Amino acid sequence: MLTVGFQEKLNVCRSIPLTGGKYFSKNACMKSVKNWDVVVVGAGPGGATASYHLARFGYDVLLLDRKTFPRHKPCGGALSWKVSRFLPFDEKALEYDEIYGAEFTYQGKEPFRIEVESPLSRLVERRDFDQKLVDMAVGEGAAFHDGETVTGFEERDVGIEVTTQAGEIYAAKYVIGADGPRGISARFLNPSHVEPMGVALEEEMVLGGVDIPKLVRLDFGRFPYGYGWVFPKRGLSSVGCGAIYRREKVSLRKAYQEFKADFPFIPRSSRGMKGHLLPYFGDFPYTRARGHMLLVGDAARLMDPFLGEGIYYALASGTFAAEAVRAAFERGGGAEEHYLPRLQKEIVEELRNAARMADFVYPRLYLGFKVLKRSSRLGLLYIRVMSGEVSYRDFNNNLFRTMKDAGKKKLMGFFTKGG
């Protein structure tokens, strides 16, 4: 029997399965076990989206989060247009800023812009965006317990018991883990996983001293396997940096301060710097579903390894997980049988192409910067990758052709191998 997070000295009641997959606690302490069809751990975009769909399908769903909502979430908040496919509400219900291109620099120098007539993406406040998703789930009938931390799981023949810091025990046929790359759900399915993490620093600040255009600003060359950014929002801008894969030791805070000093704006106020982990997607063994548990979003390490985007993959995987659980309830079999093949086809293959791009470009970053600057066609194509209109596979193939035309035939092996 596999357990995570239980302390032996706690008098946790043992449960015996009864008819229909329900649980009843039967020992000296007589602690009652509350029954749910599905317990979702983590109320970010992936968890809230899964809860919304499962509640809409008619299942009893409990959504848990250790934070009290609404809560601040350090994030650039960029929504690519492909997100629209998985949003459970009309986009007009959101408050957002539209972005019409990007300005690129290398260590604060050699600036160039790529601008488009139609919006490239939308920038949202994660506090409001995440709360809207939770409200949608609750509106469909999901129960939401914020400020309740999950402390352990225990597998049973017909489901999983979830224990919380409040002393509650919930029994569910399925658990969806959406509590991040170092959350208890990810550690439950991957107890010995030691693959590297990235890290990001971010502030939200009122900017002054310059008229800020509707462009994201991206600065490369200071941060290993990453970049600095300025995402302008309503009255506030998200300013930060990320090292998506920390292969080199570097003072991210020092590099971030140098990055800010090079930009022509004056920080007038800030909500304070926040840091968070970035789950690097790589070609290594990682369990995203087993038995009665499925992982989504960052917990499943579904983050773009080149750009660091995670919201789209959280919404998509949360939707896929909910539909897989529904299929398992209605047609039998395990939910992982329905979940993993779809995840592989619609998300994992694209992220593998993004990882190949990252593994080539980041060690040769200045070369890639120059190619992007000199090729307007490739630059516009990259903008379409950022907006979600073009796949990494197609971009990689175009980049190879551009480099080949420039006499870089030695790159053929990299971009044709498995691509």
Residues 53 and 131 in one domain: yes
Task: Verify that 265 and 386 share a domain, yes or no.
Answer: no
The rounded distance, in Å, linking the Cα atoms of 100 and 144 is 37
pLDDT at residue 20 above 60?
A: no
Is residue 236 within 8 Å of residue 205, measured between CB atoms? yes
Task: Determine, yes or no, domain membership for 20.
Answer: yes
Least confident range from 47-61, 87-101, 358-372, 390-404: namely 390-404
Looking at residue 175, its pLDDT comes to 98
Q: Is the residue at 235 inside a domain?
A: yes
Could you tell me if 226 and 334 lie in one domain? no
Residue 151 lies in a domain: yes
Residues 94 and 206 in one domain: yes
**Same domain as 151, residue 28:** yes
Calpha distance 256→259 (Å, rounded): 5
Q: Half-sphere exposure of residue 49, counting CA atoms within 13 Å on the CB side?
A: 27
Q: Is the pLDDT of residue 15 over 50?
A: no
- The pLDDT, as a whole number, for residue 398 is 82
User: Based on the domain organization, do 180 and 289 belong to the same domain?
Assistant: yes
Backbone angles phi, psi at 329, to 5 degrees: -65, -40
> Which pair of structure tokens corresponds to residue 365?
């970053």
Q: Give rounded-to-5 percent helix, strand, coil for the chain.
A: 35, 25, 35
Q: Where is the domain boundary, 256, 279, 302?
A: 279
User: Does residue 78 sit within a domain?
Assistant: no
C-alpha–C-alpha distance, residues 335 and 324, integer Å: 5
259 lies in the same domain as 382: no
Cα distance between residue 291 and residue 364, in whole Å: 42
pLDDT at 418 > cutoff 70: no
Residue 76 and residue 102 in contact, taking contact as beta carbons nearer than 8 Å: no
In the chain, the number of structural domains is 3
Report the CATH number that the domain containing residue 40 is assigned in CATH: 3.50.50.60
User: Could you tell me the residue range of the domain that residue 226 belongs to?
Assistant: 83-124+195-279
355-361 mean pLDDT: 87
222 found inside a domain: yes
Residue 33 DSSP symbol: -
Examine the domain organization and report whether 134 and 271 are in the same domain.
no
Label residue 84 by pLDDT band (50, 70, 90): confident
Query: The domain that contains 264 carries what CATH number?
Result: 3.30.9.10
Contact 372, 103 (CB under 8 A): no
Could you read off the pLDDT of 118-161 as tens digits, one per residue?
888 898 888 999 999 999 999 999 999 999 999 999 999 889 99
Q: Which residue has the higher pLDDT, 43 or 365?
A: 43
Question: Where would I find the H helices in 190-296?
Answer: 252-261
